Chain A
Amino acid sequence: MAQSSDHRSPGTSQNTSLSTRLSATLYRRPLLALALLLGPPLLWLGLVYLGSLLALLVQGFFYIDDYTGQVVRKLSLRSYAQLLQPANLDIFLRTSAMALAVTLAAAMLAFPLAYYMARYAPGRVRGLLYLGVILPLWSSYIVRVYSWKLILAKEGIISWVVSHVGAGGLLERILALPLIGGPSLSFSALGMFLVFLYIWLPYMVLPIQAALERVPRSLLEASADLGARPSRTFRSVVLPLAFPGVVAGSIFTFSLTLGDFIIPGTIGNSSLFIGQAVLRQQGTAGNVPLAAAMTVVPMLIMAVYLWGARRLGAFDAL
């Protein structure tokens, strides 16, 4: 013991002087410190992240030769023009509608929960609710999607419960509806919607809860003090101040739904979503330029979405 500590002490003192000198240098040259800290993430962001995005954009301007099936590396709008084919427009419309529906439903489900967590729940209850919201994220996404496949199946628990409470006819009638129906919940847009909603809900609850937590109680009291009833306070104070949180959450739910190909592939019927179409084009079809052009579509939709949110004043309270 004594020997080893003897051993260490010269080394330690040398280390200390080195680290002292290093920290002194960094203290004197704040720009160097900043460069060292920001260098790696900026390099990652610039090269790997934005670089690959740029490569993707460029790929979209190539096209595939219809006879040879080879990628022609010449700039052209041919692949982007293909996006406008009715079958592809269908895919974009279907995916956007689903993303919108999931986002709206998630916001409506998440807000009351987040409000309760942020404002009323006592410590223990809040902890349990937190756990309840993030617990599903601990297990594999694929496993959860396949569990839902079983839950929604014709022999699954939902059908079983529904038929035992005598509402089997109602479920059949809902499944018979065009657009959202199908042979069973596990092969319908309705089922897909339920699974999307389940999978992305935590991403809506947490940002709204964080935004609501930052609204001081005194603001609500001030509003009441100035004559506003609770509903008015909600509209004029709570909602505007929580709106950035709702937008943050909806960016998650919207963009994640736009890009997902597992859930439509597992739960859905044969109609394609953007993610599936991209997968198919760059995989089986070997049309990488068209796949690249298709990935630009969700980006455009998100850009329009954010622009709209900005116009609505979503970021004013930031």
Chain B
Amino acid sequence: MTRPSTSAVRLDDVSRHFGKVRAVDGVTLDIQDGEFFSMLGPSGSGKTTCLRLIAGFDRPSSGRIELHGRDMTNLPPYERDVNTVFQDYALFPHLTVAENVGYGLMIRRVESTERRRRVREALELVRLPEMGERRPVELSGGQRQRVALARALVNRPRVLLLDEPLGALDLKLRQQMQVELKAIQQQVGITFVFVTHDQEEALTMSDRLAVFNLGRIEQIGPPAEVYEQPKTAFVAGFVGISNLLNGEAARKITGADAGFAVRPEKIRITAPSTAAAAGECVADGNVREVIYLGVSTRYVVELGGALQGTDLAVVEQNSGSPASGPQPVRGTAVRLLWNQAYNRPMAGG
């Protein structure tokens, strides 16, 4: 699985300002050829604007955009070798499914037998071989999503841009499409740039992801790295759930001044008198909330004593094994223990 590390998309200090709003503010990133790359962030974080800059629907206020080493900064979308799957799918309502999928080929004057063959192949790839004669309005949301994907892929772009393509689907369909998208990406072997606000989606699908906030990239890396070693408080809070401890509370627990974040699933709930092992952090408190989640249970523990006023979230698997003992209920006094190696230092904490 070693591929030559050539860059498919490169953004160099790219900004896009709308009046006083800095939608994208000095973004630099390098997406490798064949990579599944996600841009993750809350709405308004600049990820979609960034995607539109790559597609060419919008031009940066400053900075440089390269596709496969060629400067594309000021080229219109119809001269860029990228295709987009739109959030609302943007299927042409006056054309049939086959005409929609064949639109790009028709524009590029691909001869009609060849065109029909490739349209058929693309529809088979997204498992809609019988739908060619239908109109988009006759399709379900999931089917439209696949047609949009086929319409982009049929042109064999070197980079495929996907703007929250699964956002409008229900949970079951979304999970199914996540698996299919990933499989299709591996099958066709082209670069996917995937915009989403769903951290779970970004974690499960991507080779690497960039976390956006306020027009800037907070962290870029493989999913496990971003999740396990968040570099900023924002990443720690947005990608999964984190307990953020700073100032006074941090000093009480670790004895050091630096703020830190710790994941809820790293913390153990034990009986109040349990002795801490070497290198473990200790915090005592009372269970304030018990939230049953099926596979796991989330507890909110209100710390006591010198740590009064701080809440910690704790997640425990519902393994049902006798070793885990009776489940604490609301009001139970507990001791929380976790290895201090799980403490992620936070800048500015």
Contacts and interface: CB of A to CB of B under 8 A. Distances in A.
B86 interface: yes
A219 B90 contact: yes
B92 A222 contact: yes
A260 to B, nearest CB: 34
B246 to A, nearest CB: 43
A221 B90 contact: yes
Nearest to A237: B92
A21 interface: no
B212 interface: no
**Interface SS, A side:** helix
A253 B185 CA distance: 53
Interface string A261-288: 0000000000000000000000000000
Given A216-B88, A218-B88, A232-B107, A225 B94 contact: no
B294 interface: no
B55 interface: yes
Contacts of A218: 86-88, 90
Interface residues of B, number: 24
A226 B86 contact: no
Contacts of B104: 226-227
A219 B78 CA distance: 14
Contact of B155 (A226, A237, A316): A226
Question: How big is the A interface, by class?
Answer: 10 to 19
A223 interface: yes
Nearest to B93: A317
A243 to B, nearest CB: 9
B146 interface: no
A229 interface: yes
B108 interface: yes
Nearest to A316: B94
Interface of A: 216, 218-219, 221-229, 232, 236-237, 240-241, 316-317
8 A-B pairs with the lowest CB-CB distances in the bound complex, closest first:
A226-B104, A218-B90, A222-B90, A224-B77, A227-B107, A317-B94, A225-B84, A240-B94
12 contacts: A221-B84, A221-B90, A222-B90, A222-B91, A222-B92, A224-B56, A225-B84, A226-B78, A227-B155, A228-B103, A236-B103, A241-B93
